[in-house]
A and B are shown apart, each in its own frame.
Chain A
Amino acid sequence: DAGVTQSPTHLIKTRGQHVTLRCSPISGHKSVSWYQQVLGQGPQFIFQYYEKEERGRGNFPDRFSARQFPNYSSELNVNALLLGDSALYLCASSLRLAPNEQFFGPGTRLTVL
């Protein structure tokens, strides 16, 4: 069975631009979460979606938004990119909202110049 997939794998943007990252969960999983991981640190929670509804939001500015589609795939959007948004963006899927085992994708490496 396919694991969590993310696209693109790498992305280079300039300050002020907008970016959309995509995630497909494990088949049968209804919850998708997004995390930001900067170099040398653990992942930081951004959003969780379950059954197409936002069920949790981390301490990130409104420039960050997400949505989940009827097939449970998800998009993370970041507007007005800043240099500090450069990071590995990870998507994780789980069967249910909580308690849960979250399985991570390979991530999207975003570089903002």
Chain B
Amino acid sequence: GQQLNQSPQSMFIQEGEDVSMNCTSSSIFNTWLWYKQDPGEGPVLLIALYKAGELTSNGRLTAQFGITRKDSFLNISASIPSDVGIYFCAGTPSNTGKLIFGQGTTLQVKP
């Protein structure tokens, strides 16, 4: 079945540093979404991307929809302790509403 490869699996950084994570797919996706999940809670939508090449920002977060439609990246600038959590990429193949998730990137920020 379709899979998303998300990397890195985990990151441990110093407060104030920038972070970058990415997701790749073996097939074309129509939508890319980025979520953050805290322990014991549901994923929270950070950014949604709908067009190839689209670059969208949400505060210190920036995400891009790759031009091949098979990849996306998320950047976090000037990280702060509350950025700690698990970040998931997710995409929808074709015109289905089904979301396929990556394996997640665990981010830890040292004050």
Residues of chain A touching chain B, judged by Cβ–Cβ distance below 8 Å, are: 4, 31, 33, 35, 41-45, 48, 50, 55-56, 58-59, 90, 92, 94, 97-107, 109
6 A-B pairs with C-beta separation under 8 A: A42-B4, A59-B1, A99-B50, A102-B33, A105-B42, A106-B42
Instruction: Give the docked Cα–Cα distance between A42 and B99 (Å).
Output: 11
Separation of A38 and B18 alpha carbons in the complex (Å): 30
Whether the pair B42, A45 counts as a contact (CB closer than 8 A) is no
B45 adjacent to chain A (CB < 8 Å):
yes
Q: Are B104 and A31 in contact (CB under 8 A)?
A: no
Contact among A41, A92, A100 for B92, CB-based, below 8 A: A100
Check B101–A33 contact: CB distance below 8 A: no
| A-contact bits for B1-34, CB 8 A (1 contact / 0 none) | 1001010000000000000000000000011010
Shortest CB–CB separation between residue B90 and chain A, in angstroms? 8
Cross-interface CB contact of A101 among B33, B88, B95, B104, cutoff 8 Å: B33
- State in angstroms the CA–CA spacing of A33 and B35 once bound together: 16
Tally B residues with Cβ within 8 Å of A: 28
> B100 on the interface (CB 8 Å rule)?
yes
- The residue in chain A whose Cβ has the minimal distance to the Cβ of B106 is A40
Decide yes or no whether B67 CB sits under 8 A from chain A. no
The number of inter-chain residue pairs (CB within 8 angstroms) is 72
B45 touches A45 (CB 8 A): no
- B101 adjacent to A104 (CB under 8 Å): no
- Nearest chain A CB to B31 CB, angstrom units: 5
Using Cβ atoms and an 8 Å threshold, which residues of chain A touch B103? 41-42
B101 touching A100, Cβ below 8 Å: no
Q: Does B66 contact A (CB under 8 A)?
A: no
Partner of B30 from the list A33, A90, A98 (CB cut-off 8 Å) is: A98
Assembly CA distance A31 to B1 (angstroms): 24
Q: Which residues of A contact B104 (CB under 8 A)?
A: 41-42
Q: Are B48 and A48 in contact (CB under 8 A)?
A: no
B44 on the interface (CB 8 Å rule)? yes
